[in-house]
């Protein structure tokens, strides 16, 4: 990750937020009363002065805005000029921050106040602006694995920064945010900041579906040849167009969920090949299995869906069990005690010391082992090594057994396809007729595919199912418009 993301992008987003929320870079801070602050007479009005600061912030962002290049640029860091008035150093008696008490007021709940999930929204917004090769899914997983300080992050604060009073409620995290929570918060934040259009998502960008599909095909241990078919679907549906992928907070409130869209494309391609109706994929697997016995030595093995299913089912069950165990052992309480007032400090410290002593004694009785060390962050959750004999790697397998030659091109042996829903979505944020995902209404193989990718993305299976429906409606739009009353195959 380029260090300029923090200095050139994230810091300027933060300055913009402080100005828009009237917390800093303004002559009339929102938390200051008229009695405590007096405005000196000046020839320049407040609005003109704040406009100058706003122009400075956007100029800093524009200097790092690369319309074509995908690599980090070498730009120097800078600071707001010294004539900008910073917020007053006056602090509340019961809080370590200037505006900590305002977070408890009823009239402040609808404002975009800072929170721990909001910090992740800032980070994702900066990563997307810089088009860094880290998605929101990766960001949340790094938080879950402890690579990014989030839970009990106040323990890393310097000694002179005291945390008590209302500030405790801000930094005391009791749960990890979901993908949808941070995603929706990022949309609100970008609109609140009045940000211009983000840098374009081109075919060379990591967030483009053609690139992300490679990542998730490798993650799901699927043959490399599937990538040619996902690219064909992207081209036919227009999901790879720059205008569709590029986020513009001012023109459209809708934003593409890049990782979910890439996974949905793979699901649609799997349905094109294997139908996923709990019958056809197994018949095709039996045929491929018999053909593999007669294939010449040295030729690529034909992809066997049933064999892949058994291996991935075992890997998914093992990974889900591991995540559940780690979640049960998660330590939410901090080593450093929190107190809401200085008067409570002695009592809290005493209770904390008693709890630590009892925990040590209990650990000696049961002979508990030391906690496992945090592993280095990785972009992949599943590692499919071709030299690993326990789990077969299907990346190099051929799709010859499930394709047939038609003229000068190849098509799938399967000629049928069942749609998730008959209603054609309007493809906008006001859509109110999403397909309701109920597992009992869909084949078990299709459910497994959704559960596999929803686990990799840490999203709900229903969210992925909705994205699959959107891709299908774009892919079969002409057929649906020609015969809108046709029923899907069950």
Residue-wise pLDDT for 254-304, tens only, equals 789 999 999 999 999 999 999 999 999 999 999 999 999 888 777 889 999
Nearest Cα residue to 150 out of 177, 168, 189, 113: 177
Sign of CA dihedral 474, 476, 482, 485: negative
- Cα angle for residues 237, 243, 246 (degrees, 5° grid): 110
Per the prediction, the chain carries an average pLDDT of 78
Yes or no: say if 195 and 249 are a contact pair by the CB < 8 Å rule: yes
430 alpha carbon, distance to own chain's centre: 22
**Strongest mean pLDDT among 110-124, 169-183, 306-320, 389-403:** 306-320
| Cα–Cα separations (whole angstroms), residue 255 to 220, 231, 243, 311 | 25, 21, 11, 35
Position 185 scores a pLDDT of 94
> Are 472 and 420 within 8 A, CB to CB?
yes
Q: In the prediction, which pLDDT does 488 show?
A: 44
| Rounded average pLDDT over 183-189 | 94
**For residue 8, what is the DSSP state?**
I
User: How far does CA 364 lie from the centroid of its chain?
Assistant: 41
Question: Taking CA 132 as the corner, what is the angle to CA 129 and CA 136, rounded to the nearest 5 degrees?
Answer: 85
Supply the pTM of this predicted model. 0.81
Three-state secondary structure call for residue 409: strand
Q: Which two tokens stand for residue 260?
A: 């979910």
Helix (H, G, I), strand (E, B) or coil at 93: coil
Cα 391 from chain centroid (whole Å): 28
pLDDT at 86 over 80: no
For residue 83, give both structure tokens. Answer: 């004539």
* Euclidean distance between CA atoms 84 and 66, whole angstroms: 28
Give, as one character, the DSSP assignment of residue 302: B
Strand pairing partners for 318?
none
Specify the pLDDT at position 409: 77
Give the lowest-confidence range in 80-94, 203-217, 345-359, 393-407.
80-94
DSSP label of 405: E
Question: Residue 363 pLDDT more than 70?
Answer: no
SS3 label, residue 457: helix
CB 312 within 8 A of CB 382: no
Q: Tell me the pLDDT tens digit for each residue of 454-480.
A: 999 999 999 999 999 999 989 988 776
pLDDT attached to residue 25: 81
- Alpha carbon of residue 89 to chain centroid: 36
Confidence of residue 83 (pLDDT cuts 50, 70, 90): very low
Q: What's the chain's length in residues?
A: 490
CA–CA distance, 294 with 1 (Å, rounded to integer): 49
Burial of 329 (0-12, 13-18, 19+ CB in 10 A): exposed
Distance between CA 237 and CA 244 in Å, rounded? 11
Residues of the chain with pLDDT > 70, as a percent, come to: 68
Burial class from Cβ neighbours inside 10 Å (0-12, 13-18, 19+) for residue 467 reads buried
- Written as six digits, the tokens of 98 are 């200037």
Nearest to 371 by CA among 332, 331, 335: 331
Check if the beta carbon of residue 268 is closer than 8 Å to that of residue 444: no
| Phi-psi group of 267: left, alpha or beta (phi > 0 → left; psi -120 to 50 → alpha; rest → beta) | alpha
Q: Cα–Cα–Cα angle for 40, 41, 42, nearest 5°? A: 115
Q: How many CB atoms lie within 10 A of CB 471?
A: 22
The backbone torsions φ and ψ at residue 243, rounded to the nearest 5 degrees and listed phi first, read -65, -35
> What integer pLDDT is reported at residue 404 of this predicted model?
86
């Amino acid at each position: 990750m380029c260090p300029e993301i923090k200095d050139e992008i994230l810091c300027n987003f933060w300055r913009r937020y402080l100005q828009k929320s009237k917390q800093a870079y303004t002559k009339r801070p929102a938390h200051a009363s008229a009695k405590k602050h007096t405005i000196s007479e000046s020839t320049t009005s407040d609005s003109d002065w704040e406009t100058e600061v706003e122009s400075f912030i956007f100029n800093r962002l524009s200097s790092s805005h690369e319309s074509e290049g995908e690599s980090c640029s070498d730009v120097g860091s800078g600071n707001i000029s010294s004539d900008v008035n910073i917020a007053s150093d006056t602090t509340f008696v019961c809080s370590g921050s200037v505006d900590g008490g305002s977070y408890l007021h009823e009239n402040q709940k609808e404002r975009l106040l800072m929170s721990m999930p909001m910090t992740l929204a800032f980070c994702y917004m900066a990563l997307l602006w810089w088009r860094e090769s880290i998605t929101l899914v990766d960001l949340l997983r790094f938080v879950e694995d402890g690579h990014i300080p989030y839970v009990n992050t106040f323990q890393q604060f310097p000694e002179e920064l005291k945390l008590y009073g209302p500030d405790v409620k801000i930094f005391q995290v009791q749960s990890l945010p979901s993908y949808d929570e941070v995603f929706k918060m990022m949309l609100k934040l970008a609109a609140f900041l009045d940000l211009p259009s983000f840098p374009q998502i081109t075919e060379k960008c990591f967030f483009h579906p053609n690139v992300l599909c490679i990542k998730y095909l490798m993650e799901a241990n699927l043959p490399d040849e599937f990538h040619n078919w996902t690219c064909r679907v992207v081209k036919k549906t227009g999901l790879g167009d720059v205008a569709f992928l590029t986020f513009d907070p001012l023109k459209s409130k809708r934003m593409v969920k890049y990782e979910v869209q890439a996974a949905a494309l793979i699901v649609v391609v799997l349905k094109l090949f294997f139908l996923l109706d709990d019958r056809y994929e197994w018949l095709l697997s039996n045929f491929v299995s018999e053909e593999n016995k007669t294939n010449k030595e040295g030729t690529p093995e034909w992809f066997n869906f049933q064999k892949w299913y058994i291996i991935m089912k075992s890997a998914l069950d093992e990974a889900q069990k591991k995540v559940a165990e780690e979640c049960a052992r998660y330590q939410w309480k901090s080593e450093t005690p929190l107190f809401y007032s200085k008067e409570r400090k002695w009592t809290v410290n005493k209770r904390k010391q008693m709890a630590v002593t009892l925990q040590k004694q209990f650990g000696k009785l049961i002979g508990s082992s030391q906690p496992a060390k945090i592993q280095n962050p990785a972009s992949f959750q599943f590692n499919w090594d071709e030299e690993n004999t326990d789990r077969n790697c299907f990346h190099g397998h051929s799709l010859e057994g499930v394709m047939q030659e038609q003229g000068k091109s190849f098509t799938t042996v399967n000629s049928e396809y069942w749609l998730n829903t008959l209603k054609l979505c309007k493809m906008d944020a006001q859509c109110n007729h999403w397909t309701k995902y109920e597992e009992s209404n869909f084949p078990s193989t299709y459910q497994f595919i959704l559960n596999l990718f929803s686990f990799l993305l840490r999203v709900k299976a229903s969210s992925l199912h909705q994205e699959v429906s959107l891709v299908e409606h774009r892919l079969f739009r002409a057929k649906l418009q020609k015969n809108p009353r046709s029923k899907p195959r069950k």
